[in-house]
Structure 1
Amino acid sequence: MSETTDVKRLSVFKTYKLYVGGKFPRSESGRVYEVSDSKGNWLANAPLASRKDARDAVVAARKAFGGWSGATAYNRGQILYRIAEMLEGRREQFVREVGEAEGLSKSKAAAVVDAAIDRWVWYAGWTDKVAQIAGGGNPVAGPFFNLSTPEPTGVVAVVAPQDSSFLGLVSVIAPVIATGSTTVVIASESAPLPALSLGEVLATSDLPGGVINILTGKASEIAPSLAAHQDVNAIDLTGAGHGSDLARDLEIAAADNLKRVLRPSASPDWTAPQGTERLTAFLETKTVWHPTGSLGASGSAY
């Protein structure tokens, strides 16, 4: 019996979910919103995260912080590099999604994805080197060593760039986790699919659940609860817009528990080489005094 070759298959549409605590929950509210390409063609329904989803993500990030910040810098670098390997393996998927999201040709989308993967590798290489540029020995008068070392600040909320769905996203979250903090990121509202696909990569990598938590929806709805959350230690306002009312309101809310705030720049160029500013933006400095000479034999520190 011969097989028929003219049977038309039904399309299998992908279901996108949030990425919180290493799992893929639906939005607590059950809401979704339509995502379209640059020409207005429907692509998918993305989950519309609520303030409850944001609070759940903070709980997951705080739970993961102890283990992630306590890991060796070398181990964090290995895990970040493994993520880059997996991104490379799914390169074609990201090229398609970035091209659709940002209205780019296949060749331009491929260049963006390649740059994002290379940037992830770049930050992976910094995990065990940032202490050398952000810390050091301090000259003091007396028989003491005085050493300053950088430490991760804690849970960092990130409003991701709106116009760079993948390269900009990588540029804001990779330095946060490379230095030992955990993050809750609000992806681009108009182009969230590359971020949600990144969550699928993270879930099957060696990255512990909760280190990166990805929310999609309206930054104007989700970000205020993160900015005011007492268990969030810092916030990156990059995607809130330079000089916008939202950025101003978030900065005011963040002052309640003295969060570190990274203000948005006017027109960031995500294709430009990255410096170390984002690596050091969410680090605290711990200074230790230690006696030298005969006093140092006891190993006491102050």
Structure 2
Amino acid sequence: MSDARDARETRLGVFKTYKLYVGGKFPRSESGRVYEVADAKGAGKDGAKDGSWLANAPLASRKDARDAVVAARKAVPGWSGATAYNRGQVLYRVAEMLEGRREQFAREVADAEGLSKSKAAAAVDAAVDRWVWYAGWTDKIAQVAGGANPVAGPYFNFSTPEPTGVVAVLAPQDSALLGLVSVLAPVIATGNTAVVVASERAPLPALSLGEVLATSDVPGGVVNILSGRTAEIATPLAAHQDVNAIDLTGASPELAAALEEAAADNLKRVRRPSPTPEDWTADPGTSRLLTWLETKTVWHPMGV
């Protein structure tokens, strides 16, 4: 017994290596850079210097952002072409896998947001439920956003929603998992692909979510997760000609204004950050689902 106890006391622990999630794979930043992540109780403007060190997170570069866009664009045809029912099954599988790693995520959320164990567990449960909620909407949103239009003439006229394409998502800075899921799930539920910029201060739950997505039947490239300096990563995404829309939720007012100006260059669809703090536990409604859909109207002569 004493030998076994001594071995445990002298053994070095194996720390988790956090990586980016791009194209269904887990690369390090192409620059080789990392930055220190601290717990929420001590982390401030000076980062890990003020709190307990948790891990080194990849410091994604502009090149990583461009690689993520390439992966997201490549995944658009397959994901947008899948049936809405199939997308719902995949999102439900994400909820299943996240539920299976509930304890790990509760620890990460507690450290990231400075919550008690019970509150962190409740946040993880809410994130699981949010995936299930959006899974149920995948094959129903078309009935809300589309329909048959009355016209004067011998024609059928139908409006149907279609995905926007590649969406860049700046995740909330203050809600490392539930807020992240709340902005990401509606993007992919409606058939879009996503490039996510995780919370700069608390990226670890987002990077771990990449591991869940990789084992949840989500095709590679549908979701790509980057960590690092929000402004550094978001700037090339806002200006990228192959990004169709951008969610500025996690941007400061000053950064949001600059990114919106850059996004206008190729007429990106932009969702501005809320002027007041968002309650991520509230019923999300269909607003975010409808944001990332475009309407296609088809005329067809009767009797043909």
Q: TM-score range by the shorter chain?
A: over 0.9
User: Residue type matched to 2:31 in 1?
Assistant: S
Q: 2:179 aligned with 1:203, yes or no?
A: no
Corresponding position of 1:282: 292
Q: Which runs of 4+ in 1 moved over 4 A?
A: none
CA RMSD of aligned residues (A): 1.0
Corresponding position of 1:215: 226
User: Residue type matched to 1:64 in 2?
Assistant: A
Corresponding position of 1:4: 4
CA distance in 2, matches of 1:5, 1:193: 32
Q: Which is further off, 9-18 or 229-238? A: 9-18
Corresponding position of 1:159: 170
Can you list the C-alpha shifts for 1:56-86, whole angstroms capped at 9, x where unaligned? Answer: 0000000000000000000000000001000
Secondary structure in 2 matching 1:208: coil
Q: 2:267 aligned with 1:258, yes or no?
A: yes
Q: 2:16 aligned with 1:14, yes or no?
A: yes
Identity %: 80
Corresponding position of 1:105: 116
User: Residue type matched to 1:15 in 2?
Assistant: T
Corresponding position of 2:45: none
Corresponding position of 1:52: 63
User: Residue type matched to 2:39 in 1?
Assistant: D
Task: Give, in angstroms, the shift of residue 4 of structure 1.
Answer: 3.4
Q: TM-score, normalised by structure 1?
A: 0.95
Task: Give, in angstroms, the shift of residue 205 of structure 1.
Answer: 1.4
Unaligned 5+ segments in structure 2 are 43-50
CA distance in 2, matches of 1:5, 1:76: 49
Corresponding position of 1:239: 250
CA distance in 2, matches of 1:6, 1:232: 55
Task: Give, in angstroms, the shift of residue 6 of structure 1.
Answer: 2.4
Corresponding position of 1:132: 143
User: Residue type matched to 1:286 in 2?
Assistant: K
What is the number of equivalent residue pairs in this alignment?
292
Task: Give, in angstroms, the shift of residue 10 of structure 1.
Answer: 1.0
User: Residue type matched to 1:284 in 2?
Assistant: E
Can you list the C-alpha shifts for 1:186-230, whole angstroms capped at 9, x where unaligned? Answer: 000010000000000111110000000000000110101000000
Q: 2:104 aligned with 1:93, yes or no?
A: yes
User: Residue type matched to 2:298 in 1?
Assistant: V
Can you list the C-alpha shifts for 1:154-197, whole angstroms capped at 9, x where unaligned? Answer: 00001000000000000000000000000000000010000000
Corresponding position of 2:95: 84
Task: Give, in angstroms, the shift of residue 3 of structure 1.
Answer: 4.2
User: Residue type matched to 2:5 in 1?
Assistant: T
Unaligned 5+ segments in structure 1 are 297-302
CA distance in 2, matches of 1:26, 1:209: 16
Secondary structure in 2 matching 1:17: coil
CA distance in 2, matches of 1:71, 1:94: 30
